[in-house]
Amino acid sequence: MKRRELRLNIISAEKKLFSGAVASVIIPGISGSFGVYPDHAPLISPLKEGAIIYTDGDAEKTVEVNGGIAEVNNGVVTICIT
């Protein structure tokens, strides 16, 4: 059985920090951190200072952010950070 994945894009004004398939991502929303998994409902959320945590293969990786905005739509998570 094929493992379901999300497509994650993390970008800033200067560069693309990550683009690839992940199993899950935890995002620091302004109302609290939330997890995104395959088949997640569409949403847009502003971000607060904190850490984006995602699973890339078998490794958990972290990107510290000062804020930004996240969009989840059709299995693609796009995060624009400040």
Contacts (Cβ under 8 Å, ≥6 apart) of 68: 46, 47, 79, 80, 81, 82
User: Does the pLDDT value for residue 3 go beyond 80?
Assistant: no
Domain residue spans in the chain? 6-81
Q: What is the CATH number of domain 6-81?
A: 2.60.15.10
What's the pLDDT at 76?
97
pTM for the full predicted model: 0.91
What's the pLDDT at 1?
40
Q: Which tens digit of pLDDT belongs to each residue from 44-76? A: 999 999 999 999 878 999 999 999 999 999 999
